[in-house]
Structure 1
Amino acid sequence: MEDDYTVSGVVFAGDDFEPLKAEIVVEYGVIASIEEKKHVDNRWILPSFFNAHTHIADTVAMDYPVSGSLSELVAPPDGIKHRILSESDPEYIISAMKATIGYMKSSATAGFLDFREGGTSGVELLNTAIRGENIDGRILGRNGGEDIADGIGVSSIKEGRAAFETVESIKEEGKFVAFHAGEKDSLDVDGAIDMDPDLLVHCTHATDSQLKRCADEGISIAVCPRSNWRLGVASGKNNPPIKKMLDFGCKVLLGTDNVMFVQPDIFSEMSFLSYVYGVDAADIYRMAVDCSFLFGEPYYIREGAPAKFYAVDSARFNTGFSKNPLKTVVTRINSSHLDKDY
């Protein structure tokens, strides 16, 4: 897209998404002004998404016919996905990641935070895939990859002392620290919190006291509801306890997790979250945007912010009849509704 342009429609501005008939003026890739207008085009204009948790290299194992426990499927170093990755040609992995990046871009995702296995070579492969793609790709490495990445993504506190020592050195460098925690049970959550990370991923079975610690200590939580259900670690609307997270004041972010099992589609994740967990549409949408706060300017539509937004053709199909457009976006919209004209 050009650095300078204008677009008009119903703009869902700020972090309260109050609909406003307006024209957005973009200069040098930044929102220069938002000017109210009486007459605008048939568009809903909304902030783009930042996917808070992905493993996009696992595209090479998409829908591989597997069964077994969570550990057998994804735990390093011998989980099925790790074996598939180790057997895959590097160029094949790059092409798979580029294809998934293209999918995310086509479905209104402008940024993603990826846990990347494979040490320094794994991070280099993802950097190659991101290059020239016009997407905010942030990488958390491990096994040495954290040295050339944006930070470290730890699979579990079970990695032990060596991982903890690496975390401490990464924190001293001012880099980002994230842990998987609480996916199968609550036993590893307190240990992960003790490491003072920036982010915990999953917390599917976190207790009230653990959630309160996250809120009090400013530790964000990335939830991945569809993945939790697909992998059999969630069985109802209380796993993960998203409403409790919000009630305690946790910063909750939305991710899609492993492309081996779940497509990195935030529209689908939002819809699932709404129907299964009954979370308010505005809260869900904030969860889909807020990871952008962790890596720079947030994507909310306001003057001075980066022009990270997309448009829905509100005249297409039946969505223009909505009495609650934000809820319609959260529960009914998909990439086929997106306006490609600007």
Structure 2
Amino acid sequence: MSSEKIVPGRILYGPDFEVIEGYITIKDGIISKVTEEKVDSQNIITPCFVNCHTHIADSVYKDPPLGEYDRFILQHDLDSLVKPPDGLKHRVLQKTSTQELIEGMRYSLKDMLATGTSSFADFRENGLPGVLALKDALKSTDIDHTILGRPSGYVGGTDKTIMEVERILEHADGMGISGINDMNHELIEAIAECTKEHKKIFAIHCAEKERKGIDTTLGLQPNFLIHMTRALKEDLETVADLDIPVIVCPRSNFTTGAGMAPVAQMLEMGIKVGIGTDNVMLNSVNMFAEMEILSKVFGLEDRQVFKMCTINGASILGQGRTGMIQENCRADIMILNGYSNNLSGTADVLNSVVRRARPDDILAVIDSNSCKN
């Protein structure tokens, strides 16, 4: 027997998030109808977030010391925190038991759903065991996921590494590589080629701390890039010409001292931009926090901010039927309390969702997987 659910309120409808009053009809996890009419509800219905870049394995070691302070100012050292193989994150992952890692990841998966995220893409360290650990953690949730693994080591013969990559690709959606400067170039080229032969996703960090290696990275023809914080205009022009999407991680880049990605330039050049929260060790998985920074610190148009956090992310990850509210799309939606102390009295619904909405405004998260029979 089919299940049907009616959700009334103010709806952010379609790819441009037009605010309409009415109700959504959901049948077997799909939006079967959107009806525009006057309803007795001020609640706000929005698509769920798509978090395009996470590292959730380091959920077991949240908020470590970030470095030394000089005159009350943090002296950032990105490499000491996350650079493989000896950065703090990697030392923690190596010494933590698999069961502890799985439990930590489960907490973050639940937190994603609770804060309005219905889909995420994770760069998973530690080879095949790392991928299998994340798949184990995912058994307890209905959240959509894209798992991007990586080899367990950064030295050794190409043939041995490619054999490991092939085993990983049997269980993962692709490969997520730390960066062009963290591995032998010939090896990374072989990994990219192997991934493409398997018709899987190849993604890579690029220009997070320094510009070095951008041209070599682009030559790998990745499906998407992470960060591009240090990219120059000419780099972005090449990225736009190659039609490569970019995932930016605003809070993470501030936390590590990487700086501000040139997001406005990316958008002006027609680059498709998605948003990620990056390492749970450094930042929560709360996408509302990313939106507020993008709106108020980067000064970006609120509609574009919301697109980057929803429909753009869905498109980049190949999830074309989610990220927006429209007929025949998947019913991955959240209902925000339009009567809350925070959201009541809004002059513009979309602006308020982007600039001030918080997880405690969420009345319910409906994901398409859990509302199927």
Where 2:20 maps in the other structure, the secondary structure is strand
The one of 264, 267, 282 equivalent to 1:243 is: 264
Contact 2:335 2:365 in 1 (8 A): no
Where 1:278 maps in the other structure, the secondary structure is coil
Residue in structure 2 matched with residue 62 of structure 1 by the alignment: 62
Where 1:98 maps in the other structure, the secondary structure is helix
Residue in structure 2 matched with residue 151 of structure 1 by the alignment: 174
Residue in structure 2 matched with residue 335 of structure 1 by the alignment: 359
Q: Deviations over 1:63-109 (max 9, x none)?
A: 12242621121111111110111100111100100000111100100
Residue in structure 1 matched with residue 111 of structure 2 by the alignment: 103
Residue in structure 1 matched with residue 123 of structure 2 by the alignment: 115
The one of 147, 150, 161 equivalent to 2:186 is: 161
Contact 1:22 1:40 in 2 (8 A): no
TM-score for the superposition, normalised by structure 2: 0.88
Q: Give me the whole-angstrom Cα distance separating, in 1, the residues matched to 2:213 and 2:238.
A: 14
Q: Give me the whole-angstrom Cα distance separating, in 2, the residues matched to 1:247 and 1:338.
A: 32
Q: Give me the whole-angstrom Cα distance separating, in 2, the residues matched to 1:184 and 1:3.
A: 50
Q: Give me the whole-angstrom Cα distance separating, in 1, the residues matched to 2:176 and 2:143.
A: 20
Residue in structure 1 matched with residue 314 of structure 2 by the alignment: 292
Contact 1:299 1:307 in 2 (8 A): no
Where 2:86 maps in the other structure, the secondary structure is coil
Which structure is richer in relative contact order (CA contacts within 8 A, separation 6 or more)? 2
Matches within 5 A, 1:259-270: 259-270=280-291
Where 1:277 maps in the other structure, the secondary structure is coil
Q: Give me the whole-angstrom Cα distance separating, in 2, the residues matched to 1:196 and 1:275.
A: 33
Deviation at 1:114, TM superposition (A): 0.3
Contact 2:116 2:365 in 1 (8 A): no
Where 1:138 maps in the other structure, the secondary structure is strand
Deviation at 1:292, TM superposition (A): 1.4
- C-alpha change, 1:219 and 1:341, in structure 2 (3 Å) is closer
Q: Which moved more, 1:174-183 or 1:67-76?
A: 67-76
Matches within 5 A, 1:1-342: 4-67=4-67, 69-143=77-151, 144=165, 145-158=168-181, 159=183, 160-234=185-259, 239-289=260-310, 290-293=312-315, 294-296=317-319, 297-340=321-364
Q: Deviations over 1:179-234 (max 9, x none)?
A: 10010121122211111111100000111111111112111100001111110111
- C-alpha change, 1:3 and 1:89, in structure 2 (3 Å) is farther
- C-alpha change, 1:162 and 1:284, in structure 2 (3 Å) is same
Query: What amino acid sits opposite 1:115 in the alignment?
Result: F
- C-alpha change, 1:156 and 1:318, in structure 2 (3 Å) is closer
Contact 2:292 2:355 in 1 (8 A): yes
Where 2:80 maps in the other structure, the secondary structure is helix
Contact 2:174 2:200 in 1 (8 A): yes
What root-mean-square deviation, in Å, do the aligned CA atoms of Structure 1 and Structure 2 show? 1.5
Q: Give me the whole-angstrom Cα distance separating, in 1, the residues matched to 2:169 and 2:62.
A: 25
Unaligned runs of 5+ in 2: 68-75, 152-164, 367-373
Query: Which 4+ residue blocks in structure 1 deviate beyond 6 angstroms?
Result: none
Contact 1:6 1:26 in 2 (8 A): yes
Query: What amino acid sits opposite 2:359 in the alignment?
Result: S
Where 1:45 maps in the other structure, the secondary structure is strand
Contact 2:113 2:365 in 1 (8 A): no
Q: Give me the whole-angstrom Cα distance separating, in 2, the residues matched to 1:3 and 1:261.
A: 40
How many pairs align?
Answer: 337
What percentage of aligned pairs have identical amino acids?
Answer: 34
Q: Give me the whole-angstrom Cα distance separating, in 1, the residues matched to 2:353 and 2:214.
A: 33
Query: What amino acid sits opposite 1:92 in the alignment?
Result: E
Q: Give me the whole-angstrom Cα distance separating, in 1, the residues matched to 2:113 and 2:335.
A: 13
Query: What amino acid sits opposite 1:333 in the alignment?
Result: A
TM-score for the superposition, normalised by structure 1: 0.95
Contact 2:148 2:173 in 1 (8 A): yes
Deviation at 1:3, TM superposition (A): 5.1
Where 1:304 maps in the other structure, the secondary structure is coil
- C-alpha change, 1:341 and 1:52, in structure 2 (3 Å) is closer
